[in-house]
Structure 1
Amino acid sequence: MSRTDTAKTAGELVPVKFSRLTRRGLILGLSLSQVIALGIGGISLVGALYAGGGILVLYSAPIWLLAITLVWVRIGGRALVEWLPVCTWWLWRTTGGQLLYRRRIVTPRPAGTLALPGDMARLREYADPETGAGMIHDPTGNTLTVAVRVTHPAFVLLDPSEQNRRVTAWGRVLATICRSGRISALQVLERTLPDSGQGLAEWWAEHGTHDGSWASTTYAELIDRAGPAGERHATTLSLSLDMRAAARQIRTAGGGIKGAANVLRQEMATLVAALRAADLTPSGWLSTGEIAVMLRTAYDPAIGPTLERHGQLGQDLATAGPVAVTETWDRLRTDSGHHAVLWISEWPRSMVYPGFLAPVALSTGIQRSISLICTPLRTDQAVRDIRKKKVEHISDQAQRRRIGQIQDASQTAEYEDVLRQEADLTAGHGVLRYTGLIGVTAPTVEELDTAVAAIEQAAIQASCETRLLVGQQAAAFTAAALPLARRI
């Protein structure tokens, strides 16, 4: 993402431009799977011609015609050959019974594990004795994750100079994450939750006038009725430590989970300082009980207001998971909700101002979660990646000139994005890869379809392109709705 030079005045809000989603392939824009399929078809055709042609070419026609169809016919923005691994994996999971999850009520779970479906069953909990934070250990991914709740003023209501200052400060927060070299991912999760009205009722009980008058009675009835019908926004940041990259520091700190917790605690202190410098208010690291409540309400949204009114209920990770999960091709059904996850496949291609996601973030009447997963790249890795992209672009340009193919504007824009990233990296900025996911939840399938259509329209207003993820809704939901910094 790069800033323009059109606004030089201090305090003036500066528009930004996102890099395009790269569509380069192995050669001439073709992916590896397309090249393989095209190669198989070409070999069959050439072999038939050399073997005698004529009837042999006709006999081999199903092979090379199928190869051409798989390479050039596209469905949903993908070539047919690229759908093969997705469909194959889906059929494998279907025949293996992996699309259904039912909790075993009688069988106890191992101590310290999370009652979650799928590959998340391997996650382990650890309560940090110094900070009280609940840490989630992934022994397979070798990560240790912690989450903090963040409060902030409404960005769209600030004046342009204040917005510009906060955007710059948030950039410094991301730069801090990049320089560490030990962070696996940073997840920004913004959710809308049904409001139980507890906060409003507590305010009225403390500050209201209880004199039995008509106004007092009417106001109390209004709070009692309207409070639970509202919604509130909650924002959390999840920080994931890469235990492989921090192996030396972990050994120095004592090794094991305790050593990893000591190293992560240093990153936590650095992040909190950076957030406060950016005028963001961290309200304490989430404990294991608070994480349990978030997991429970994600899978069982109907229980959320009840858990909020009774603060001690549901704060056990061993029972926080769903009772039942059923995954379909493009939907997910859990205890009391139907879910669908959209992927932000294309960020705005034109210049936009910060806050461009307001149509999505401020959509009312829809229970949804916006998850932005930031994956920092080490400087040496980013340099190699940019150098590789430049070589591929230059090679593709030479190949196109050789065969007389015209280079279109999108390919030129991608190459300019690579040059811009190289300039930013040379200037000392960090490089992050962003993944945007939007999880939509509704009590019925009909309401879910309506909500998904509304979010897609809001994304269009925000100049973003979204796609409904298919064949992987369960994994996508864990990345979009849970504060565990999961990848997909």
Structure 2
Amino acid sequence: MSTESATHPTYGNWRRPRRPGLGPLGLVGTFGVFGGLVIVLLASLVSLFLALFILVPLVIALAPLTIRTQDGRNIYQLITLRIGWRNRKAKGSHLYVSGPLSSRPGGRFRPPGLLNKVTSTEGRDAYDRPFGVLHHPTRNLYTIVLGCDPDGGSLVDPDQVDVWVALWGEWLARLAHEPGLRGASVIVETAPDPGTTLAHEVLPRIREDAPAAARAVMEEVVERYPHASSEMHTYVTLTYGVPAGQRRKKDDVIADLAIRIPGLLSGLISAGGGAAYPLSAERIAEVVRVAYDPAVAADVLNARAEHGGTGLEWEDAGPAAAVETVGSYQHDSGVSRTWLLTLAPRGTVRSSVLRGLLEAAPGTRRKRVALLYRPIDAATSARIVESDRRSAQFMATSGKGMVQARAASEVRAAEQTAAEEAAGAGLVEFSLMLTVTVDEMSELADASVAIRNLTAASRVMMRPADRMQAAAFSCTLPAGILPWEQTLIPHEIQEAL
């Protein structure tokens, strides 16, 4: 007799990109060290005092580059963040007021911050379905939002989960070949179920001549079921850019996006996305409106159930007032705090590693988990994996003891990554952001403890987005805000710091 043991697939092997340069200095710091040494040696030929006069400021200037936080930021970056927050607070940029009684032109409730200049239009795809397009004029980017209802992992065979993961990886690899794609995000939003949808589905179907007991049971179900359930929505945003030097009309861009939508939706469906569909401009405005004012969620559902829509426009999707503080963001009827990923789960994990993080958190009004993806083209992917492979081999041959053992593990991971990339797998940079919204500021401390427990169970390390809560809140909305596209310093230079 032979026994067969069921093997459960595991995942992992994600790697943090290696920083070029010597140790924690980075590429800029390394050039500063070697350039400074050359200048000091030349100065020593003239005078020893002159050499020391140059060496001391050089050491003081380069020392902050060697001290880094757990997420890789150096002292200069932390100081820049604090200076930027002080400047915004001095100018009053941390306060936002809109509407007819405000001084803003138009008297409408436009979204604040990074979304203030965004405009919304609508097109029709190949199946004549409306889809909204958000235009970011400062960067000339266009965003489409896809909604889907994932099947979930309950009562699903591990083999099927493995197939879904493989197809999801294939869908992400295809994004690297999407012309003009700058980034994508998957946003999972959870909130307590207000019971509006259930009430509109059940109560109108109760017949007047139904038995009193049956009517009482159905009414009790409608009343009590929402207290123990939650609603979950999943959105996929894709942000495209126009190549530099090209001038394309907005209508031409929308027509191009309309052709791509059916193929993107079919890939989501095959990867376990369930029923996938494009979101109209009105639906996108509703999602953003509810995020800024959670108290109107039931009213939006009622209007959609009774009238088929709300008629809400993008210009009225923002809050009436918002206040940004160091560790929170107050907006209309909610107070939010956002966390940023600092370290992905180490080692191998199972498919359910993020399940607790994605589920509704008790004591919160709304919660959004945003996975941000930055696809890398095939040529750059090959160069990156080969560079990591050579670096890992060098560390393995030059280390000793525990360092050599860790380096050997790095070599195996780098070899596996290189083999998978050569076989056709795509290379994608990813991050994670989490936003929690509560009713009162006093509830934020308890929500923070709950999130800390959830992140520990999911084996991820996150930190609050202090002094940039408003911008981080916008990044977790299905509006196509990509952090690396909003920085003044290019992404390539930031990697060299």
TM score, norm. by length of structure 1? 0.82
What residue in structure 2 maps to residue 426 of structure 1? 422
1:29 is paired with a residue of what secondary structure? Answer: helix
The 5 A counterparts of 1:81-480 are: 81-106=76-101, 115-129=110-124, 130-208=128-206, 211=210, 213-214=212-213, 216-217=215-216, 219-224=218-223, 226-227=225-226, 230-244=229-243, 255-311=248-304, 312-313=309-310, 315-365=312-362, 366=364, 367-389=366-388, 416-480=412-476
**8 Å contact from structure 2 (residues 119, 314) kept in 1:** no
1:133 is paired with a residue of what secondary structure? Answer: strand
Paired AA for residue 100 in structure 1: L
1:180 Cα offset (Å): 2.5
Identity of aligned residues (%): 21
**8 Å contact from structure 2 (residues 64, 74) kept in 1:** yes
Cα 1:73–1:43, aligned 2, differ >3 Å: closer, same or farther?
A: farther
Q: Which stretch of the first structure deviates more once superposed, 81-90 or 298-307?
A: 81-90
- Separation in 1 of the partners of 2:44 and 2:158? 68
2:116 is paired with a residue of what secondary structure? Answer: helix
What residue in structure 2 maps to residue 18 of structure 1? 13
1:333 Cα offset (Å): 1.3
1:477 Cα offset (Å): 1.1
1:221 Cα offset (Å): 4.0
Does residue 70 (structure 1) correspond to residue 67 (structure 2)? The answer is: no
1:182 Cα offset (Å): 3.0
2:356 is paired with a residue of what secondary structure? Answer: helix
1:427 Cα offset (Å): 1.0
1:144 is paired with a residue of what secondary structure? Answer: strand
Paired AA for residue 369 in structure 1: R
Paired AA for residue 234 in structure 1: H
- Separation in 2 of the partners of 1:83 and 1:452? 23
- Separation in 1 of the partners of 2:408 and 2:61? 29
Cα 1:305–1:411, aligned 2, differ >3 Å: closer, same or farther?
A: farther
Cα 1:51–1:17, aligned 2, differ >3 Å: closer, same or farther?
A: same
- Separation in 1 of the partners of 2:253 and 2:145? 15
**8 Å contact from structure 1 (residues 292, 314) kept in 2:** no
Paired AA for residue 291 in structure 1: I
Cα 1:332–1:413, aligned 2, differ >3 Å: closer, same or farther?
A: farther
1:340 is paired with a residue of what secondary structure? Answer: strand
Cα 1:273–1:230, aligned 2, differ >3 Å: closer, same or farther?
A: closer
Paired AA for residue 16 in structure 1: Y
**8 Å contact from structure 1 (residues 143, 241) kept in 2:** yes
1:323 Cα offset (Å): 1.4
TM score, norm. by length of structure 2? 0.81
- Separation in 2 of the partners of 1:342 and 1:98? 21
Cα 1:222–1:428, aligned 2, differ >3 Å: closer, same or farther?
A: closer
Paired AA for residue 87 in structure 2: W
Q: Which stretch of the first structure deviates more once superposed, 152-161 or 430-439?
A: 152-161
Q: Which stretch of the first structure deviates more once superposed, 32-41 or 279-288?
A: 32-41
- Separation in 2 of the partners of 1:18 and 1:450? 34
**8 Å contact from structure 1 (residues 298, 482) kept in 2:** no
After superposition, the CA RMSD in angstroms is 3.8
Cα 1:364–1:471, aligned 2, differ >3 Å: closer, same or farther?
A: closer
1:476 is paired with a residue of what secondary structure? Answer: helix
**8 Å contact from structure 1 (residues 45, 64) kept in 2:** no
Paired AA for residue 173 in structure 1: W
2:23 is paired with a residue of what secondary structure? Answer: coil
In the alignment of these two chains, the number of paired residues is 468
Cα 1:14–1:221, aligned 2, differ >3 Å: closer, same or farther?
A: closer
- Separation in 1 of the partners of 2:109 and 2:403? 52
- Separation in 2 of the partners of 1:346 and 1:191? 22
Cα 1:82–1:108, aligned 2, differ >3 Å: closer, same or farther?
A: closer
**8 Å contact from structure 1 (residues 148, 286) kept in 2:** yes
| 5+ long unaligned stretches in structure 1 | 1-8
